[in-house]
Chains A and B, each alone.
Chain A
Amino acid sequence: MSNTILKINNLKVNYGGIEAVKGISFEVKEGEIVTLIGANGAGKSSTLRTIIGREKPSSGTIEFAGENIAGMDTTSIVKKGITLVPEGRKIFPDLTVEENLKIGAYMRKDNLSQDFERVYSLFPRLKERYWQAGGTLSGGEQQMLAVGRALMSKPKLIMMDEPSLGLAPIIVRGIFEIIEAVNKEGITVLLNEQNANMALKAADKAYVMETGRITMEGTGKELLENEQIKEAYLGKSKK
């Protein structure tokens, strides 16, 4: 059994006056791919943003590697080894590919050459274009850059918010290959997805969120075969 790296306990988050997350608990084990699936507005993004310290929880704890990080500022949390690939990729369009990667390692003071090598061997495309402005890359390449940038902080846990959003189906498949490749590097992945089919196939463990609550959990395979999930998220009718 591997160790629990992230443990969320009864987390509540208010976002813009409403309670977006209404007391959820879940855990992520080291080396796993865990996914939160659910519709828009279910509170998935708020959950990730709270873990990285962009929102303050109104109650509950977030334990990372045994330490409660709830309410800490983002800078300290990034230093502890969590990173978030934001929804919409959000690469810096004016910075070159290389500078985008450099700023991903902003918190680090040690030598980065090994990390550049790791990112460039995962994504040879980025190496070819290291001098180009980030904004000139295609959507799929930008997603590679966003993941590469996150890897530069040497994270133990990488969180991704809707990585497949707005990308063509063929590129989405590539994104999931990236996620699995990152996971093989020994990095734990926590993934928010609306593309439940792909996410469940990739995930070791999955949680279904609905209006701020976790309503179902299981291994990816279990949920893929669950009738309710099939109907609600996979677009397959019973019969």
Chain B
Amino acid sequence: MEFFISQVLSGISLGGQYALIAIGYTMVYGILRLINFAHGDVFMVAGLFMIYLSSSLPVFVSVPLVIILTVALGFIIERAAYKPLRSAPRMSVMISAIGVSYLLQNLALYATGGQPKTYTTIPFISKTIKILGAPTRIVTVITPVLVIVLIVILTLLINHTKIGIAMRAVAKDFETSQLMGVKINSVISITFIIGSFLAAVGSLLYFTNYPTVVPLSGAMPGLKAFVAAVFGGIGSVPGAVIGAFIIGICETLIKGTDFSVFSDAFTVALLIVILGVKPTGMCGEKVTEKV
């Protein structure tokens, strides 16, 4: 029983971490119709930022710096690799995204020399506590709470602020939004800033549970989060969050059984089944043809 509770708890926590990455995928897709393949690698680079910064700075300085640097990275990637291709075919932008992904991985390989880098122990959240008799780390408890708080803020931002209305308008119609005086490039930048911010927070929580960061550390969580976004209906923020929690919990529960080697395969199998049954995902937008 204690084992089960601890599995469920870490499943929820992992789901929350995936959710923070998945929102970045789904928001960028919603506005640019682009699958930002570099997003998982931005997440990995945030992990490396933390390692390098905390080697010379105290943790309470490094954490905000990691967030600022990751946000800057997301912003620069958009301006340098996607913005010049605004009127290019969608395929070109996607290839550019794949290019950025490899670039980040290779830069990380160069910086780390291929050696796994030990992740910083962030005090307090790494502490072990007992919940209903099951031992777990504080980060496991903090993650879902933090995720919910961030999502509530994000939802309020999207639904009730001027910039949120602009984001939804730009996602539907670039041309008319511009006629209203909306600067679409600023709105797109803000989308990347939000996505990178959440990825940075996710990275701080996620890597606390893992000993090291390697250049490919972003690939798997990135893929899982992407599956979560598609599962929930890409373009939809609530869909991505629900999808992420389902995938996180299922994956952790499977890892606790004899079939643990299949946990990653399960994620992808789930995706195939969902897409077969409901191609737009759980909360995906209905595509209505205009007549």
Chain A residues near B (Cβ < 8 Å):
52, 54, 74-75, 78-79, 83-84, 86, 90, 92-95, 99, 102-104, 106-107, 149, 153
Chain A residue nearest in CB terms to B183: A75
Complex CA–CA separation, A4 to B168 (angstroms): 38
- Say if the beta carbon of B73 comes within 8 Å of chain A: no
Q: A52 near B169 (CB under 8 angstroms)?
A: no
Chain A residue nearest in CB terms to B163: A106
- Say if the beta carbon of B136 comes within 8 Å of chain A: no
Q: A74 near B179 (CB under 8 angstroms)?
A: yes
B106 contacts which chain A residues (CB < 8 A)? Answer: none
Q: B179 near A86 (CB under 8 angstroms)?
A: yes
- Within 8 Å by CB of A106, from B166, B168, B173, lies B166
3 A-B pairs with least C-beta separation: A78-B181, A107-B181, A90-B176
Q: A75 near B181 (CB under 8 angstroms)?
A: yes
Chain B residues near A (Cβ < 8 Å):
162, 165-166, 168-169, 172-173, 175-183
Q: A102 near B162 (CB under 8 angstroms)?
A: yes
A94/B179 contact (C-beta < 8 A), A102-B162, A106-B162 known: no
Q: B182 near A103 (CB under 8 angstroms)?
A: yes
Complex CA–CA separation, A74 to B176 (angstroms): 11
**Inter-chain pairs besides A75-B178, A103-B166, A106-B182, 12 sampled, C-beta below 8 Å:** A52-B179, A54-B175, A74-B178, A75-B183, A84-B179, A86-B175, A93-B172, A94-B172, A95-B168, A102-B162, A106-B180, A153-B181
Complex CA–CA separation, A90 to B168 (angstroms): 14
Q: A78 near B173 (CB under 8 angstroms)?
A: no
B162 contacts which chain A residues (CB < 8 A)? Answer: 102, 106
Complex CA–CA separation, A95 to B169 (angstroms): 7
A74/B172 contact (C-beta < 8 A), A99-B165, A103-B165, A106-B162 known: no
Complex CA–CA separation, A210 to B21 (angstroms): 55
- Within 8 Å by CB of A92, from B176, B178, B181, lies B176
Q: A153 near B165 (CB under 8 angstroms)?
A: no
Complex CA–CA separation, A74 to B172 (angstroms): 19
Identify 26 residue pairs between A and B in the complex whose beta-carbon atoms are under 8 Å apart, listed by A's number. A52-B179, A54-B179, A74-B178, A75-B183, A78-B180, A79-B181, A83-B179, A86-B175, A90-B175, A90-B176, A90-B179, A92-B176, A94-B168, A95-B165, A95-B168, A95-B169, A99-B165, A102-B165, A103-B165, A103-B166, A103-B169, A103-B180, A106-B180, A106-B182, A107-B181, A149-B180
Q: A86 near B165 (CB under 8 angstroms)?
A: no
What distance in Å separates the Cβ of A82 from its nearest Cβ neighbour in chain B? 10
Chain A residue nearest in CB terms to B172: A92
- Within 8 Å by CB of B177, from A93, A94, A103, A107, lies A103
A104/B180 contact (C-beta < 8 A), A90-B173, A92-B173 known: yes
Complex CA–CA separation, A116 to B210 (angstroms): 54
B172 contacts which chain A residues (CB < 8 A)? Answer: 92-95
- Within 8 Å by CB of B176, from A75, A86, A94, A153, lies A86
A83 contacts which chain B residues (CB < 8 A)? Answer: 179
B165 contacts which chain A residues (CB < 8 A)? Answer: 95, 99, 102-103
Complex CA–CA separation, A93 to B171 (angstroms): 11
Complex CA–CA separation, A25 to B162 (angstroms): 38
A86 contacts which chain B residues (CB < 8 A)? Answer: 175-176, 179
B178 contacts which chain A residues (CB < 8 A)? Answer: 54, 74-75
B177 contacts which chain A residues (CB < 8 A)? Answer: 103
What distance in Å separates the Cβ of A143 from its nearest Cβ neighbour in chain B? 14
